[in-house]
Amino acid sequence: MCYRRSCRRGFFGGGHDKKNVTLEDIAKGIREREYKRIVVMAGAGISTPSGIPDFRSPGSGLYNNLQKYNLPYAEAIFEINYFQYNPKPFFALAKELYPGNYRPNLTHYFIRLLHDKGQLLRMYTQNIDGLERMAGIPAKKLVEAHGTFATATCTVCLREFPGEDLRSDIMDGTVPHCSQCKGVIKPDIVFFGEQLPQNFFLYLTDFPMADLLIVMGTSLEVEPFASLSRAVRGSVSRLLINRDLVGPFAWGSSQHSDVAELGDVVSGVRKLANTLGWMPELEALMADESQKLRTRGTLTTVTELNCNERRIGSLI
């Protein structure tokens, strides 16, 4: 088996006789536009610096903080059968997670910069917080694998609603109901037991086309998302920016062109941006977007504005 795997890697230009790729090599390829079809895979770890707790971190993950909802087990809050039985716990959690409560951080804006430079093929995200959209990454460049709050659907008559139509009810702690049939309106978040969004299957064409895969802030534990990390061609470099080795990076099945930058995700992205020479541009983008939020009135109080500027400053 080892011999056959080595032959395959060599056939696609990734034989074991080649030197290991480094972060500097990855940065050089991005800077010199050798990589023009970059795919990014991201999980909750890119949003925790914005203040959103992730789902699985011991002692701080969302699953560990759900006891107050009196669930039979933590995962029930995202199970469609339990939602149909009792939607109140989900909407209590939705009030905390709803887009607008948090702001994008340096990692989101780095991905936005990849898009601005014409090098982002697609971003596949497990997150439902909407921070990618808020950072200015266009919807057509996003595959929100676990759904989105941007749209919603009545669970009875299937009428579709803009996500903003639910905001007042959710913020008031009320379960939103359809004006036509009185059914519960559910944000288009993918629950356990539901089908993935149709655009998830763009991976069938995106990953074979990708010339670089960046994986960041994810445990790679939830399928089928996790398997995407193995869907690129054998010759394609994979960069992991993460707290821990995960998926193929941890199984002993990594290849010479894999690079792992371990530790805090924002620190890892900052290191990549510095190596690229992009930090001044990235800082300017973040400052500009912060100004746009102020102009739009998204940050409505002096206290909120100061908190956001301190958060952005701490992430630069």
The verdict on residue 9 lying in a domain is: no
3-state SS, residue 19: coil
> Could you confirm whether 146 is annotated as catalytic?
yes
Q: What's the CATH number where 237 sits?
A: 3.40.50.1220
Segment 209-220 mean pLDDT: 97
The verdict on residue 163 lying in a domain is: yes
Same domain (yes/no): 177, 230: no
* pLDDT at site 41: 98
The verdict on residue 151 lying in a domain is: yes
The verdict on residue 311 lying in a domain is: no
Tokens of 76: 């029930």
pLDDT in tens, 231-250: 999 999 999 999 999 999 99
Element holding 123 (H helix, E strand): strand 120-125
Segment 260-275 mean pLDDT: 97
300 vs 106, more confident: 106
Contact partners, residue 306, CB within 8 Å, separation at least 6: none
* pLDDT at site 6: 28
Same domain (yes/no): 218, 262: yes
The answer to whether the annotation marks 157 as part of a ligand binding site is yes
The verdict on residue 242 lying in a domain is: yes
Same domain (yes/no): 111, 248: yes
The answer to whether the annotation marks 233 as part of a ligand binding site is no
pLDDT in tens, 281-298: 999 999 999 888 777 654
The verdict on residue 1 lying in a domain is: no
The answer to whether the annotation marks 308 as part of a ligand binding site is no
Q: 310 exposed, middle or buried (CB, 10 Å; 0-12, 13-18, 19+)?
A: exposed
pLDDT at position 14 over 70: no
Same domain (yes/no): 209, 170: no
Quote the CA–CA distance of 258 and 23 in Å, as a whole number. Answer: 9
Same domain (yes/no): 180, 115: no
The answer to whether the annotation marks 174 as part of a ligand binding site is no
pLDDT in tens, 101-130: 889 999 999 999 999 999 999 999 999 999
* pLDDT at site 272: 98
Q: What's the CATH number where 156 sits?
A: 3.30.1600.10
pLDDT tier for residue 306 given thresholds of 50, 70 and 90: very low
Same domain (yes/no): 141, 233: yes
The answer to whether the annotation marks 45 as part of a ligand binding site is yes
Same domain (yes/no): 74, 136: no
Same domain (yes/no): 250, 110: yes
Same domain (yes/no): 44, 58: no
User: What residues make up the domain containing 243?
Assistant: 19-50+105-145+199-298
Question: Exactly one of 16, 146, 177, 256 is catalytic; which is it?
Answer: 146
* pLDDT at site 214: 98
The answer to whether the annotation marks 179 as part of a ligand binding site is no
pLDDT tier for residue 255 given thresholds of 50, 70 and 90: confident
The answer to whether the annotation marks 56 as part of a ligand binding site is yes
Tokens of 157: 């008559």
The verdict on residue 316 lying in a domain is: no
Element holding 48 (H helix, E strand): none
Tally of domains within the chain: 2
Same domain (yes/no): 80, 61: yes
The answer to whether the annotation marks 241 as part of a ligand binding site is no
The residue assigned the tokens 């199970």 is 79
Same domain (yes/no): 177, 214: no
pLDDT at position 159 over 90: yes
The answer to whether the annotation marks 288 as part of a ligand binding site is no
pLDDT in tens, 34-88: 999 999 999 999 999 998 876 666 665 566 667 777 888 878 989 999 999 999 9
3-state helix, strand, coil in the chain (%, to 5): 45, 15, 40
Same domain (yes/no): 286, 176: no
**Domain end (from 155, 189, 223):** 189
* pLDDT at site 315: 40
The answer to whether the annotation marks 154 as part of a ligand binding site is yes
Tokens of 79: 């199970």
Segment 152-168 mean pLDDT: 95
pLDDT tier for residue 20 given thresholds of 50, 70 and 90: confident
Contact partners, residue 49, CB within 8 Å, separation at least 6: 105, 106, 107, 264, 265, 266, 315
Quote the CA–CA distance of 315 and 265 in Å, as a whole number. Answer: 10
